[in-house]
Amino acid sequence: MNMHDDPHHACGGSDHLTRRALLQGAGMGGLTWLTPLADLLAAETETAPRGKPARSVIMLWLGGAASQLDTFDPHPGTKIGGSVRAIDTAIPGARFAAGLEQTASVMQDVSLIRSMVSKEGDHERAVYNLKTGYRPVPALTHPSIGAIVCHELPDAKVEIPTHISILPNRWPARGGFFGAEYDAFQIGDPAKPLPDVKPQAGADGMDRRIVDLQVVERAFARGRRPDLERGTTLHQVTMGKARRMMSSDQLKAFDISQMPTAERDAYGNTPFGRGCLAAVRLIEAGVRCVEVTLDGWDTHANNTAGQASQVKILDAAYASLIRNLKQRGLLQHTVVLCGGEFGRSPKINLFDGRDHWPKGFSMLVAGGGFAGGRVIGETDPQGVKEEPADPVRVEDLHATVQHLLGIDSTKEITTSIGRPIALSNGKVIDKLEA
């Protein structure tokens, strides 16, 4: 599976999970997220992070690429600054663009990388790079960070998908060479009920269908491998896990309507804000990785207004997420990343827009062992020097996240084509650790 494939395949589209025909017809072979290969024929055991506090990841994905100059790295009053105004943050000397007042106030718990660099300036390739830590190569698809976390840190107690993408765009997080069962489970606006989790046939009708299906399963297994004859087919395991999910109390984590109105309002009355609130609830329920997408940052024209509208959505949601995780005692165990595929150019084009810029952009990192209140790197306020001071490579960020999760980033996985690939080829950024 690669990023050219239809994003609405096995796990469903952003507004509709493609499981109705499968669940209601008791033919759930497409629910690949339910059947990690390592779990199929072995007892499931929980793997705790090894000596590190982090156990989950939240990725707030700024799709289309936010302008660092209009968000976290403003240079007001300069040739490249445009009309941006700057405000102080909780980090002395570090300023944000106006509109990010709430985010600025929580920066004692967040660190800012202003010198992210990549070699990919095309949206699709850069998304792949940022989400996997690798540049695209022929004949191989790397897993996203969420897939790696779920693969390396399975948790048998979680009855719902452990890798979730809320409001995904064309390029949601993928399982890569771990297989489609590690693809992110996709949902839309959490204001809407989670579809397809109750069979239309009702409980009795579903039970009858399961009994009938068992007859077919036994006939299929007869004469095949001994493990199949004992009733451990892939399909049966999938069915069992699907039914377990459909009856699980953990499904309530998707339902943000249970939250107090004041808490919901704090995130902003937007799909992204609701997605961030749902992410907190899902992490609290034991989910390993939640990605929440805020598209609309691709401002090749009318950059000032375009960035400002997205900043307004981001500010309340991001700050509330950090505060809420901290209040619930989850921040120390949850890595929170916020950024997009690259930044936007210092030069303002003829359409009052900014173009693609992978040579020095911003990323917010928090929780899970990341230090708070630090600024890493610096861009040239005059836009003359293209490369930032103290650059941070994408692969190094990935290695650091894996390290904080207790995952050995040098571990090699032998892919289906027999090629050994390390989980990351980056180096841990020690100065970002608490």
Provide the token pair at 95. Answer: 């300023």
The candidate with the shortest Cα–Cα distance to 55, out of 327, 284, 302, is 284
Residue 163 Cα to chain centre, angstroms = 8
3 lies in some domain:
no
* 392-393/110-117 β-pairing: parallel
Q: Please answer whether residues 143 and 3 qualify as being in contact, where contact means their C-beta atoms are separated by less than 8 angstroms.
A: no
157 lies in some domain:
yes
Strand partners, 96: 87
282 lies in some domain:
yes
| Domain total of the chain | 1
Burial (0-12, 13-18, 19+ Cβ within 10 Å), 215:
exposed
The CATH number of the domain holding residue 91 is 3.40.720
199 lies in some domain:
yes
pLDDT tens-digit series, residues 214-234: 566 666 566 555 554 455 555
10 lies in some domain:
no
339 lies in some domain:
yes
Task: Give me the residue label for tokens 């494939």.
Answer: 5
Rounded Cα distance, 235 and 256, in Å: 32
Rounded Cα distance, 277 and 167, in Å: 13
- Domain containing 315: what range? 20-432
* 375-376/361-366 β-pairing: unpaired
- The whole-model pTM stands at 0.82
66 lies in some domain:
yes
Provide the token pair at 376. Answer: 């890493």
Rounded Cα distance, 206 and 130, in Å: 42
Q: Which ranges of the chain have pLDDT less than 70?
A: 1-52, 196-247
- Predicted pLDDT at 248: 73
178 lies in some domain:
yes
Provide the token pair at 162. Answer: 């452990």
